Structure 1
């Protein structure tokens, strides 16, 4: 990771600032929660975390672009097309209900390609980071990280299959295919949000799928999954994610061995 060592170090610094804010607001009695125009919740912790990250990036990477879920896009001032993509709290619905499965997602893109990713889940006491194709690590903090690697499972009948929810798959016309995957897999669970992807990177499960995501939901996950030896594409087999902030993307993440089978099963909507 020598080529991105400074970027990884900065991502950890951003995550430290984010964790200090989000952990203090988690289960706070005075937490303020509002509904965004799309009716998804946003808390005062979401906005405070993103403001803190924006301030640090303005100080340390003033030429880089920035896309955040809560405050939108700031174009890059430099010519190299580098852009940070931030989800201040992935799993806000968990956060506001007191469920500890939520995290800050931080990615660095070069053009459309996510090259650095970091996921920090302070309520779980765990952080994951990686560089696409070059390695991934997990641990309580940067100083105590250990390498992680996807599983070697090669048959769906032996695989642990993970998904976010079933309603999105029904809307995408692929519910029957997902249900058949669940039947054919050794085990299925819906961990949701970032967590399934991180368990995949650690080899604790073998497949994670979601039909509809935004760039900030997925950009940080790609370098960690691929850095751990996994594979991640959209439902139509393109590299995940797309590079435009307005694009909705899908995600199929696997240990690599299972990818052709899972992709073939989910690639086409079921006729209604």
Structure 2
């Protein structure tokens, strides 16, 4: 970790956030968008931020690999001992709708684990930063994750929805960015975030170290350790919870998956 000037990386993240923010504030974020796959949209701003980050981060650590949502097809630099794992705009759907729940997500991964993470969320006026083993903060304020020890009644980012009575959870505000949802657990704004679909490492790598350093548990949907910077960039879901409800959440997810096996 001594090879990297982390203050410079934070400054680069803020420049990237400013680049995206100019498009967002101008109301032009929805003008140049397209579907890269069914239901998966990308904007011109995603591409511009990705290009900016790749150039600037490579200059800081030329030997590191690169794994990003918008250049995921380029596997030539993935799989190295160190790599940048980046989502130039996590939460693109909120970004193009002019809503605030998006962030620039940057993680530095070493030997399969994130050692440094930044979420730059300029529309929310928040900068989240964490170093593995030493520090996690939002806007300079240290983070302490949810300490909830009872699953029923747990806060989960779902927005304004009516849950079935058998699901005894408490919906709270849901940003489109899953990284920001994990950060909510880190800051005791939520107790539980879960996804049971195949997802991408760049969505969660930075938020993983932010939440874990705050005391949250972060695993895949089966409760197993997440490893990063593989050649495929995929993980089966994510589960981020307070330490006290993680085992119960793993059991609930397992039950859900068993009951829904074979369903699309």
Query: Could you say what the CA RMSD is over the residues aligned between the two structures, in angstroms?
Result: 2.6
1:105-124 equivalences under 5 Å are 105-124=105-124
1:189-228 equivalences under 5 Å are 189=172, 191=174, 192=176, 193-212=178-197, 213-228=199-214
Match of residue 271 from structure 1? 259
**Residues 87 and 197 of structure 1: CA distance in aligned 2, closer, same or farther (over 3 Å):** same
1:52-67 equivalences under 5 Å are 52-67=52-67
Q: Does 1:126 align with 2:112?
A: no
TM-score in terms of structure 2 length? 0.85
Q: Which sections of structure 1, spanning at least 5 residues, go unmatched?
A: 140-144, 167-177
Comparing 108-117 with 130-139, greater Cα deviation is found at: 130-139
Alpha-carbon distance in structure 2 between the residues aligned to 1:11 and 1:4: 13
Secondary structure at the counterpart of residue 105 of structure 1? strand
Alpha-carbon distance in structure 2 between the residues aligned to 1:165 and 1:133: 36
Match of 2:171 among 181, 184, 188: 188
Q: Which sections of structure 2, spanning at least 5 residues, go unmatched?
A: none
Match of residue 24 from structure 1? 22
Alpha-carbon distance in structure 1 between the residues aligned to 2:76 and 2:111: 12
Tell me by how many angstroms 1:244 deviates.
2.1
Q: Deviations over 1:91-150 (max 9, x none)?
A: 1111111111100000011121111111110000001111234331001xxxxx111111
Comparing 87-96 with 193-202, greater Cα deviation is found at: 193-202
Alpha-carbon distance in structure 2 between the residues aligned to 1:132 and 1:240: 15
**Residues 6 and 96 of structure 1: CA distance in aligned 2, closer, same or farther (over 3 Å):** same
Q: Does 1:229 align with 2:198?
A: no
Whether the aligned pair in 1 keeps the contact of 2:143 and 2:187 (CA below 8 Å) is yes
Tell me by how many angstroms 1:195 deviates.
2.2
Match of residue 8 from structure 1? 6
Secondary structure at the counterpart of residue 70 of structure 1? helix
Alpha-carbon distance in structure 1 between the residues aligned to 2:143 and 2:133: 13
TM-score in terms of structure 1 length? 0.83
